[in-house]
Structure 1
């Protein structure tokens, strides 16, 4: 039993480094032979040749361990009262669209965030569509002859519009200057001078609408929920101010938390979300409100890490492999239950 366990651990190390599965035969085994020969002699080093570390063998072990991690994750998610998802899309080396998903949930009084999956998408990403649109516009507007032919074609088809305009926003997106251009033009929102021209007024109205839409995603913090960030307000006036949306029982519980030195130490030693998760059994009402505000992902950082890992795995030489098992083992904070994996494989291959 010990030998299969160790061989799975070697495959796990290969997955966590993000290297090709063939590295077991091309590097790990030769290096092990050299070290064994130095330490134990040539006879012992020959035993290394009996260790199965082929590309297919390593792949099977990685896949089985990744499946075990998935089972563990699903089991923990089923025990969580609520969870949040973070999804993002990107393209790999083969220009294939991929969807990455991470999940944040509560398990055993702790908040966890884990890799859920990375799957190829059957359709193009928004970025690909935008890129193709820019290429088409540039081709038509690039030469006067193409522009004239396009106008004739539109007229023959009875189109309402016969000319193409350069899409300024597409240009900004291509060069990654959306925010910088937005700040450059912010004076239009705050300027007290009268701006002439219908086009300028329409542009100003568009920026004002954009400003309003951004405000929906970056709202000012609601002071009535300040107790979530800092539950240790001690003044009666402050407690009354932040507990306006709480029931009388929840307000009393907040007073208990605020005056507890033990809980203050607990919150100081843990993250804010984990602090509330720890008191969930004792103060379920307050903890539920707090955790529903804290569980959502604040950034796409996890997905960016996932896409970086995807790019590392899908190179020009490995652009057709299913990378989901490798990425799961590399990114997951869970550890595969290798004894269970080995036991299941023995049961699968045992004669019936």
Structure 2
């Protein structure tokens, strides 16, 4: 830093004074660690203040292992305030030193809640992955929380993104994926890889390389398959030059299966991307899922009629291979069965949301036609409200001409009198607090692994938590307060 300062500032007015001031900046390793810890503490104080002010909150939990093989549990919180604004923040990072059973997770989280004095009465929902330690019926983390009288009655559901990925696995098609992965592995070996890339350059191929496949990220195969299919001609030529058997790659039915798998995983990838991202509410996710379900029916009906309008890769194979049409007529029914099986899996796995969906729909559109009595009971059961009060409030609200004029306003619930409509406003706030996935945890694990990488395995759990908090927090440290609390000592 001082080399840059001397170069840039030496000819500037007051340059000497500026250089002298910069030379006093403390940059020692231990000093930097203390500064990060101080910023993390300041951010935690801001979170504590918001946690005290918020009306309701939900949490998402997920676990992973860091570079030193320590199991780490990430907990994110989504708070909703009186004005219906929301905030998502990292609540804590908790190391699990020994085993990672449901009771271990529960004890660790409960100890943190007690120590932090988290107002558990404001808890609305908990979103987790589908691991037995989390959702086991008798011994899972959620089961222990629900058995604890300190916890209120809360909603729980399995991460929507994880569920969608599990749905995708029912497609199968191992007879396609296994050879693809094997061929990619052959082409990715150092010497073979160099030769293959040269061949692609000579042939002016659409892509300059193949993508590697990672089984842990099942939906990553969408891009892998698309790239593989696009380079199929070049791959055949390369394999043939190496004396490899390419009879499978020239099989028309197998090529159609490859194209179909490419298309259907591409559609699942697109849905997966719609479900990811910060600020995604359960409303956004349910909407995306509800839009995808009827699309599968359209795909199935189209294939039954031998139409491939929604399958561009299959279209391409049929266009380039004159004999493929006859083969397609034979396999179209198989593709229909795959899509129908996928649709059924979606119905089975997302039945947890059936109870929540009507409530979410009403909050999104409070003037929709509903059976007031039945719906009031459902809303009150879901969110622990008084059914009689909610029923009267729904009738009154739906006949409020002033509010009806603002029904399309994005901030509609901010305009509703929270005293007059306390029940439905509480329901609206609770819906606003809901996570739909553990995406924030998944994203933060990437940051965690970058911070505590193979070169920094001795980083303590406390320092890891501080560094991660500073990295992912949406709060800004109060630098003036921090600076005023520091005693300046020049670097040596």
How high is the TM-score relative to the length of structure 2? 0.42
What is the deviation of 1:100?
Answer: 0.7
* Mean CA deviation greater in 289-298 or 307-316: 289-298
Q: Which of 421, 434, 448 is the equivalent residue of 1:296? A: 434
- For the pair 1:32 / 2:5, whether they are aligned, the reply is yes
1:276-287 to 2 correspondences below 5 Å = 276=413, 279=416, 281=418, 283-287=421-425
Match of 2:93 in 1: 118
* Mean CA deviation greater in 91-100 or 31-40: 31-40
- For the pair 1:182 / 2:170, whether they are aligned, the reply is yes
Q: Distance in 1 between matches of 2:82 and 2:3?
A: 43
Match of 1:52 in 2: 26
Q: Distance in 1 between matches of 2:473 and 2:479?
A: 15
Match of 1:248 in 2: 392
Match of 1:229 in 2: 364
Q: Distance in 2 between matches of 1:339 and 1:42?
A: 25
Q: Which of 459, 464, 467 is the equivalent residue of 1:326? A: 467
Contact 1:101–1:115, Cα closer than 8 Å, also in 2: yes
What is the deviation of 1:61?
Answer: 1.7
Deviations 1:89-115 (A, max 9, x none): 011222221111110112352111111
Contact 2:76–2:441, Cα closer than 8 Å, also in 1: yes
Aligned residue for 1:247, secondary structure, equals helix
What is the deviation of 1:329?
Answer: 1.6
1:1-352 to 2 correspondences below 5 Å = 28-37=1-10, 39-40=12-13, 43-44=16-17, 46-47=19-20, 48-107=22-81, 109=83, 110-124=85-99, 179-184=167-172, 214-219=349-354, 222-223=357-358, 226-233=361-368, 238=369, 244-245=375-376, 246-256=390-400, 259-261=403-405, 263-264=406-407, 267-268=409-410, 270=411, 275-276=412-413, 279=416, 281=418, 283-321=421-459, 322-345=463-486
> Structure 1 216/244 Cα, relative in aligned 2: closer, same or farther at 3 Å?
closer
Q: Distance in 2 between matches of 1:319 and 1:257?
A: 63
Contact 1:34–1:45, Cα closer than 8 Å, also in 2: no
Aligned residue for 2:88, secondary structure, equals strand
Q: Distance in 1 between matches of 2:401 and 2:63?
A: 42
Q: Distance in 1 between matches of 2:417 and 2:86?
A: 12
Deviations 1:134-155 (A, max 9, x none): xxxxxxxxxxxxxxxxxxxxxx
Match of 2:342 in 1: none
Q: Distance in 2 between matches of 1:244 and 1:119?
A: 40
- Root mean square deviation of aligned Cα: 3.6
Aligned residue for 1:323, secondary structure, equals helix
What is the deviation of 1:216?
Answer: 3.9
Contact 2:36–2:467, Cα closer than 8 Å, also in 1: yes
Q: Distance in 1 between matches of 2:401 and 2:90?
A: 33
Q: Distance in 2 between matches of 1:240 and 1:218?
A: 20
Q: Distance in 2 between matches of 1:95 and 1:325?
A: 19
Q: How many residues align?
A: 238
Q: Distance in 2 between matches of 1:257 and 1:54?
A: 65
Contact 1:101–1:116, Cα closer than 8 Å, also in 2: yes
Aligned residue for 1:231, secondary structure, equals coil
> Structure 1 290/178 Cα, relative in aligned 2: closer, same or farther at 3 Å?
closer
* Mean CA deviation greater in 210-219 or 101-110: 210-219
Unaligned runs of 5+ in 1: 1-27, 127-176, 186-209
Unaligned runs of 5+ in 2: 102-164, 174-344, 377-389
What is the deviation of 1:46?
Answer: 4.3
What is the deviation of 1:247?
Answer: 1.6
Q: Distance in 2 between matches of 1:345 and 1:257?
A: 58
Contact 2:80–2:432, Cα closer than 8 Å, also in 1: no
Match of 1:133 in 2: none
Contact 2:393–2:424, Cα closer than 8 Å, also in 1: no
Q: Distance in 1 between matches of 2:439 and 2:485?
A: 35
